[in-house]
Amino acid sequence: MKKIQTLLNKKIIVLDGATGTEFQRRGMPQGVCPENWCVQNPKITQAVHEDYVAAGADIIYTCTFGGTRPKLEQHGITSVRKINKQLAVLARRAAGDKVLVAGDIGSTGRFVEPFGPLKFNEAVEIFKEQVKGLLAGGVDIFVIETMMDIQEARAALIAVKELTDAFTIVSMTYEKDGRTLNGTDPITALITLQSLGADAVGCNCSTGPQQMLAFIKAMKPYAIVPLVAKPNAGMPKLCKAKTIFEMSAREFGCFGKKFAIAGINMIGGCCGTTPEHIRLLKENITGVLPRKPKRISISALSSARKHIILEKRKTVAYVGERINPTGKKDLQAELREGKFSIVRKFAREQQAQGAHLLDVNAGAPGVDERKTLKDIIGLLAVNTELPLVIDSSKIEAVEKALRLYPGRTLINSISGEKTKYEKLLALAAKYGAMFVLLPLTEKEVPQTFEKRKKIIEFILRKAKSYGFSKDDIVIDGLVMSISSQPKAALETIKTVKWSSRSLKLNTVVGLSNVSFGLPGRGLINSTYLSILRRNGLSMVIINPCVERLAYNKKAEDVLLDKDKDAKKYIAYYQRFCGNKTLISKKKALVSSPEEKVLQSVMDGNRQEMKNHVKDALAKGVKADYLINKVMIPAINKVGDLFDKKEYFLPQLIASAEAVKIAFDYLEPKLKKSQANIAKKTIIILATVAGDIHDIGKNIVALMLKNHGFNVVDLGKDVSTQKIIREIKKYKFPIVGLSALMTTTMVNMKEVVETAKAEGLKCRFLVGGAVVTKSYAKSIGAEYAADSVEAVRTAKRLKR
Amino acid sequence: MKVNIFEQINVTVPQERIYSRLGYAKGKTQVSKEQIEQTEQYIDQALSVITLKGAAVRIDITDFSDALVSLTNGSVLASRDLAEFLSGSKEVLFMGATSGLEIMRLITENAEGKDVTAAVVFDAVASEMTDAALGWMMNYFNNELRRENKVLTKRRFSAGYGDFGLENQKLICDLLEMEKLGVKVSETSILIPEKSVTAVAGIK
């Protein structure tokens, strides 16, 4: 560790270049296990290492990229520790005394929980097995590289750190869009990995140096550790079924200075690079002084796909509080059953309403909090990109959640409770989490700022001994209800102000407690938030779906010039407030009851259709007039617009559903008034045997009903015999058959032929994804491409 | 020949493709703000219940003939069109993905009359998300293959294309151990739950 730190202070460290493509160039055949091939060809392996040493590499990687058990077992190799040790020894021999050897760890090729089936702790054990072999072979440091999945990188890093304190580099691989395959961007990965204990972070493979330069530039301002880059020799190209890398060693080497300016601390080459690439790279950076990380800590949180830099925020960060079963019976019941649909819904809703973070609490009677919290953390790690706040009073639950969460989280909270703070501080330190400092003890919930101040100072001293900096801590202002303690709000303001202004710490409050027991809570809450904001509040735990608070935030963004041209504010206002005005204006224009019914069809307004029909009838409009002169022309117009692509499918269906609502209401009244409606034509609909796709058929049924057909819907997967039996019940019906697959389409033919053989009088209409006009013709049926055409064809057949 | 199981696949929501599947034509279709909001709400609702899972397996090709592709595990794929598609490939990558049971329950429940408009949107979201999961797997394997100096064919091929009969679904699903993802094949070669897909790509 000391040796590499000394090197990093003095110079930009040069790493080796590609080994895989280099071995291929020197005779390694395709399809073999590279690690095994290297063991069997020690001279070539050592020669490649030596060539990189001669080219000027300060660190060479062991040839153990695929040295984990899952990878080796693909080639029938089970001696994981042995092969890793052998390859470390080979590298060690080539490195001599001056060059360091990095034990190279690559992906297992399996996705890790919560993104894949490999359990997180199992992944850690897999990596530990490799780490032990590499340590036995005498490696100096470790490099975890070409990681596509941040969670697998975390598992590997934890494995190394639980076995040794050796310097560890973690290097991710990013796609052209600047994200890993699982959607992690370089800054997010940096925040997660450096807080978890990576000693250097960076990127390798995938892209050429030009694109990788941008990743390094993006990471540098947030890095508290050295940055690493190992680009390919340009972007890979396919040439005569071979992947080639076209960038010359000279061109590659020229990028050295650009990387140095961007702030790189360790640089080498990945696929396609050769010892010559490394020699010229070194030549270009020799004598250039390294740019050390600008900071030693950072106030930032991350999920697998997003990060939030707290110190950069000029406005308060919103922590969504809804994923908490306290007082929510439905959520409690779901959690007890191990279901999470409400959790998912709350997460999506809060995200949509502008929450920056989500607080997660699983404490409820009858709920196994340790398991449930971990399950929710895993679920939300996948289902939301917002970083999570782990909210639990159970140490074991917090530990499980911290270990699994693929980001840097915030623990809510660590207080002065003697039985807990040491353990929680140790956990937060191990997993690199930030934490909320709650100024209370097991003995008291202090009412005054002075008492809170003492507790804060005490915990800060303790936290410092675990290596925490001020950037890692958020002080809770401890909000209490003013209905029971009139001065409570003032004491919280003092706590927030002192913490933010004097201590320069982030602060948070759980806002809604303040108004407990009072009427007009929204008004109290939003006003209190404004006051706290002025006193330096940085985070607030709230329900972002409460309109007034969300609105308040939009207004604040405009006032603080955070919303260019007030666009977001205006959009929000129109959505939640302005709409009412717009709608009422529109309604004013559509005045007569018939017009309202017509407009409801055109708009697919299912909610108001029934009321408009009732109004029309009440004002003397006849039911048959509404159907024949208003609704049918309107739905025909909608069909035309759909044909012209001016309407899309949801509009067509919503209009059809609106008409159906009106029909269902009007139909009994038509009978009562003995209105003269044409005798309805029977149309039998079925998805044929073996086929279970019926959404298209259901749409056709809906449309046909609206056009006055008497639809007999037999459902899906209907046997030929059943369809035939049904045809026999009616006089000259139309039979509509649907099929989505080539394997089931043939059953249409069977139905048509059986009906013909039995001499049944009916007409066939067929449709479905694989059905074509020519196929329909070949079996003696009419064809309709969609529901609008089905209505048109059925009307023609009716005549 | 180990099957890779992907328990959770994260894809960027293919918003444009969903709208396109629903018949939205840019510059032509006129949708009010309220209708767009409602469609977006339906999309959100669908996304909240979709859990994309996938499986993939690489198998060496041992022999090509005019209309047969023989694999190292003894399987033989009989299709002239597939043989042509795979020409020059040394391995086949079989892939399968599913949006899960919950979305199908939601589609069925609504398509039967509760809210057909919602059902068509759910259906489009599930179809496009499942397809996007295959795209994600192809990206994943291309990353893996780069190290081996190999590459995937740009396109993928599915049972039901050309003369590669739908009956091959059974074979593909067995190879992929799709039952581990909760996917079965009906006697008529339909994947259940319906929002599931399989495909093959060549490895060159």
Burial of B170 (0-12, 13-18, 19+ CB in 10 A): middle
Tell me the domain boundaries of chain B. Answer: 4-203
CATH of domain A300-543: 3.20.20.20
CATH of domain A682-798: 3.40.50.280
Instruction: Provide the CB-side half-sphere exposure for A103 (13 A, CA).
Output: 33
pLDDT for A127: 98
ipTM of the complex: 0.91
Among residues A377, A355, A364, A358, the alpha carbon closest in space to that of A328 is found at: A364
CA angle A797, A701, A662 (to 5 degrees): 110
* Whole-number Å distance between alpha carbons of A154 and A171: 11
Q: Calculate Rg over the CA atoms of chain A.
A: 34
Would you put residue A789 in left (φ > 0), alpha (ψ -120 to 50) or beta?
Answer: alpha
Equal CATH topology for A2-285 and A682-798: no
* Whole-number Å distance between alpha carbons of A189 and A219: 9
- SS3 sequence, A239-267? ECCEEEECCCHHHHHHHHHHHHHHCCCEE
Interface of B with A in 140-199 (CB under 8 A): 140, 143-144, 146-151, 160, 165-167, 186-190, 192, 194
* Whole-number Å distance between alpha carbons of A701 and A737: 11
CATH of domain A590-672: 1.10.1240.10
pLDDT for A197: 97
Per run of 10 residues, the mean pLDDT along chain A (length 799 residues) is: 88 96 89 94 97 97 97 94 98 95 94 88 98 98 96 98 98 90 93 98 91 96 97 78 82 96 97 95 94 94 96 84 95 94 88 91 95 96 93 97 98 95 97 98 94 97 96 97 90 97 96 88 87 93 75 69 72 55 42 87 90 92 87 89 90 90 84 52 92 84 87 92 94 91 87 94 91 92 92 87
CA distance, residue A705 to nearest chain B CA (Å): 12
- Do the Cβ atoms of A250 and A239 come closer than 8 Å? no
Please list every residue in chain A whose beta carbon sits closer than 8 Å to the beta carbon of residue B143. 148, 173, 181, 206
pLDDT for A585: 40
Test mutation, A150, A695, A706, A711, chain B, max B CBs within 10 A? A695
- Residue whose tokens read 């009359």: B113
Residue A428's identity, in one-letter code, is: A
Question: What is the longest distance spanned by two Cα atoms in chain A?
Answer: 104
Please list every residue in chain B whose beta carbon sits closer than 8 Å to the beta carbon of residue A305. 10
pLDDT for A383: 83
CATH architecture of B4-203: 3-Layer(aba) Sandwich (3.40)
Tell me the domain boundaries of chain A. Answer: 2-285, 300-543, 590-672, 682-798
pLDDT per position as a tens digit, B106-135: 999 998 888 999 999 999 999 999 999 999
Tokens of B163: 């003369």
A284 — phi, psi (to 5°)?
A: -75, -20
Per-residue pLDDT tens listing for chain B (204 residues): 789 888 888 888 899 999 999 999 988 999 888 888 889 989 988 998 898 999 999 999 999 888 899 999 999 999 999 999 999 899 999 999 999 999 999 999 998 888 999 999 999 999 999 999 999 999 889 888 877 778 899 999 999 888 998 899 999 999 999 999 999 999 889 999 999 999 999 998
pLDDT for A582: 36
The separation between CA A134 and the C-alpha centre of its own chain, rounded to angstroms, equals: 35
* Whole-number Å distance between alpha carbons of A632 and A650: 19
* Whole-number Å distance between alpha carbons of A699 and A62: 62
pLDDT for A241: 59
The separation between CA A141 and the C-alpha centre of its own chain, rounded to angstroms, equals: 33
Tokens of A670: 């038509």
CATH of domain A2-285: 3.20.20.330
Partner-chain contact A743 B204, CB within 8 Å:
no
CA distance, residue A690 to nearest chain B CA (Å): 6
pLDDT for A583: 36
Please list every residue in chain B whose beta carbon sits closer than 8 Å to the beta carbon of residue A341. 48-49
A703 C-beta neighbours (distance < 10 Å), count: 28
Instruction: Locate the chain B residue with the closest alpha carbon to A661.
Output: B113
The separation between CA A473 and the C-alpha centre of its own chain, rounded to angstroms, equals: 26
Test mutation, B19, B42, B105, B147, chain A, max A CBs within 10 A? B147
- Do the Cβ atoms of A540 and A318 come closer than 8 Å? yes
